Structure 1
Amino acid sequence: MTDTLLVEPSRKSPVQRAVSTLFTSRESAIALVLVIVVGLATLKTHSFLFSDNSWRDLLLAPSILLLLATGQAVVIITRNVDLSVGSTLAIVAYLTGRLFVDNPGIPIVVVFVIGMVVGAGLGVINGVLVGYGRVPALVITLGTLYIYRGVVLSWAGSNRINASDMPDGFLSLGTKTVLSIPVLTVIALVVLVLVGYYLHTARGGRELYAIGSDPGAAELYGLKVRRRVIGAFVLCGALAGLAGVVYAARYGTISSGAGQDIELQAVGAAVIGGVAIFGGSGSVWGAAIGAWLLITINRALPILGVQDFWQQAVVGSLIIGAIVLDRALAARRTRKLIRARDSS
């Protein structure tokens, strides 16, 4: 008998398993959509991808949302959500400007560290209220969204920080490149790799998935659920703080309206990228691709002649479709488990 072309899953080589994963994962599907969007926009307007600044902008524009989506993905994996990241970004962005105004000559690295520490502190507040208060994260972070935004509104008022108030060395981070890749994008990618590596290799990262899959079972198993959830919010806040510093370097002008509504984009990017809104599954890689897709769609759809209303409708449809797909896949897995149990 001739050898069959079909290979049993258990006998697949590592290369075959990698190829199979590549063509069946949610991340690959979203990446394909991203490539199609870029291709259609480039066919319509050649300069979308091949002008002097288009390539740099294509990489630079998603850097802030990528940082927020990475932190948001970690929180959502634990079956929570953080709606306060946009307000945290605003506080840290304005703080960044004030640090340069009030402390001339302050090292740029110190500003980055202070921004992340402040963001982490705001994340601690969210985490403690969720972990110890036993109140849904949606409610807690909706409240802190308004509280944090109120703080920056009271602090900044109608004032704003201008580019002239900050050192050229800091502002140049928004335009510098390394091997044709913007520095701010490099920062976002380094963070993405570190967080992704932690989630998939460290015990603490794997425990976050277990908590999101079934918090009650995780607690009975002896996992430190409360501590892990607080840690997820701290990480999310720290990355929102980093995004605030990056925002200041990227735009140069900072007002109390910085980061308005970007928290919804962060949640949308994570969900579109395959992070299950009900927790327990997904990856920061998918969230990053989702962030790139959202930003690229906003740039590409006007070029393709799509009106503003339909631009928003497309993004909303992607989010709804991602949630429906997650539920359908979860139901399918449940039916398979039931059939396997009944047949055994």
Structure 2
Amino acid sequence: MAENKVEKNSISANIARFREVGLLGFIILLSIVVQMRNSSFLTLENLNDMITNTAILSILAVGMMLVIITRGIDLSIGATLALAGMISALTVGSFPALNPIWAILLGVLVGIVSGGIIGLIISKGGVLPIIATLGMMYIFRGLTFMVSGGKWVSAHQMPASFKEIATGSFLGINNLIVIAIMIYLIFYYFINHTRIGRQIYAVGSNPESAIIRGINHDRIIFLVYTLMGGLSGLAGVLWVSKFASAQGDTASGYELTVIAACVLGGVNIAGGSGKISGLLLGSVLIGILNNALPLINVSPFWQSWIQGSIILIAVVLNALVKRGVDLNALMRRQI
């Protein structure tokens, strides 16, 4: 009886182990179906546009994954993105000769400060992440309107060098894609091959046990929200450069899309688990859905329904897999 349960639950463990393979298979199948409906989908031009449009989402998803792994959530990233983008746009508008690198560093700095404030509120103040980030979301959004005086910064107010951050290329590859690849490589190493990376997983898996083992829980929480803020600030500069426009409501609600990419990529919303490889596939799937559904003339109303259904299925699948893995581990200990 116990052996049968272990055997059944081992299936869940195998699903968890090869989840990325299944997600990749679904992406390939979806691409084939869309290509059959519209032959322009798999053209080099469309693929380049799709990957470029997904780059900013994938960068934000890395930071959100770290936050979710520690059993947190960050609803302020869209507002942080808007604030950093607005401040950078206003700065380059006032100093057209400013090197774009300084604009990027300024945006990252704004994001780090914003994320650090949230990290302190949560780690030292003991405020629930959803409450802290919801409150700061409104504060950052209000600050964005305040620094801009409620006005937009349009393309003609930005120097060409700033807009080339997103439109330029390196070795024939768009800068946004290059930056996203660098972010993924850096954080892949950070998460999998550093002590702090392992501590992040430990805090999310079992906070009480992590504290007993001597891990500074508050420091880890402060770190992940600061990193999330820094990536949001970077994304803000890239966003404004790409769309050549900075507005008070930039990226409003975008945090939900980022969370969706994490969930689709297998990041456990209850914390403790998540992989960079799955995260990348989840971001790509969101990018494909955003690009493909309009190409095959799916109604905008059905687009939302389809995306929501896929996300819901992913959440249910994650929950079932986690339950199976936990039961499998429990049964093995009892045998």
TM more than 0.5: yes
Which residue in the other structure is 1:16 paired with? none
- Per-residue CA deviations over 1:42-65 (Å, capped at 9, x if unaligned) read 2222222216x3132022010111
Provide, for residues 97-140 of structure 1, a one-character-per-residue CA deviation record: whole Å limited to 9, x for no partner. Answer: 11111223111111111111110110001111111122211111
Partners of 2:222 and 2:151 lie apart in 1 by 34
Mapping for residues 78-89 of structure 1, pairs under 5 Å: 78-89=70-81
Q: Is the contact made by 1:210 and 1:218 (CA closer than 8 Å) also made in structure 2?
A: yes
Distance 1:22 1:188 in 2: 28
| 1:23 Cα deviation from its structure 2 partner | 10
TM-score in terms of structure 2 length:
0.91
3-state DSSP of counterpart to 1:133: coil
User: Is 1:252 equivalent to 2:244 in the alignment?
Assistant: yes
Task: Report the alpha carbon displacement of residue 255 of structure 1 after superposing the two structures with TM.
Answer: 1.1
Q: Give the Cα–Cα distance (whole angstroms) in 1 for the partners of residues 334 and 200 of structure 2.
A: 30
Displacement after TM superposition at 1:305 (Å): 3.3
> Structure 1 residue 41 and structure 2 residue 34: aligned?
yes
Cα deviation 1:22-73 (Å, max 9, x = unaligned): 995322222222222322222222222216x313202201011111111101
The question of whether the paired residues in 2 share the 8 Å contact of 1:59 and 1:182 is answered with: no
Q: 2:217 aligns with which of 225, 232, 237?
A: 225
1:50 maps onto 2:43 in alignment: yes
Consecutive unaligned residues of structure 2, counting only runs of 5 or more, are 1-13
Partner of 2:20: 27
CA distance in 2, matches of 1:313, 1:320: 10
Aligned counterpart, 2:4: none
Alpha-carbon contact 1:59-1:181 (below 8 Å) kept? no
Contact map agreement 1:192 1:285 (CA 8 A) in 2: no
- Matching of residues 146-157 of structure 1 within 5 Å: 146-157=138-149
Structure 1 pair 156–37 and aligned structure 2 pair: CA distance change class (3 A):
farther
225-234 or 285-294, larger mean C-alpha shift = 285-294
How do residues 1-344 of structure 1 correspond to structure 2 at under 5 angstroms?
24-50=17-43, 53-343=45-335
Aligned mates of 1:313, 1:241 — CA distance in 2: 31
SS, match of residue 328 in structure 1 = helix
Aligned amino acid, residue 267 of structure 2: V
Moved more, 37-46 or 63-72: 37-46
1:6 — aligned with what? none
Cα deviations across residues 259-311 of structure 1 (Å, max 9, x unaligned)?
11111111111111011001110113322221221122022112233222221
Could you tell me which amino acid in structure 1 is paired with residue 32 of structure 2? G
CA distance in 2, matches of 1:339, 1:284: 29
Paired residues, number? 323
Structure 1: runs of 5 or more not aligned: 1-20
Contact 1:273 1:290 in 2 (8 A): yes
> Do 1:69 and 1:266's aligned partners in 2 also have CA atoms closer than 8 Å?
yes
Tell me the TM-score normalized by structure 1. 0.89
Whether the 8 Å CA contact 2:16–2:321 is kept in 1: the answer is: no
Aligned letter for 1:156? S
CA deviation map 1:176-225 (0-9, x unaligned): 23344311111011111101110001010011001100111111111011
Greater CA deviation, 32-41 or 253-262?
32-41
CA-based RMSD of the aligned residues comes to 1.9
Cα pair 1:56 1:180 within 8 Å, conserved: no
- For residue 86 of structure 1, report the CA deviation from its aligned partner: 0.3
- The answer as to whether partners of 1:157 and 1:256 remain within 8 angstroms in 2 is no
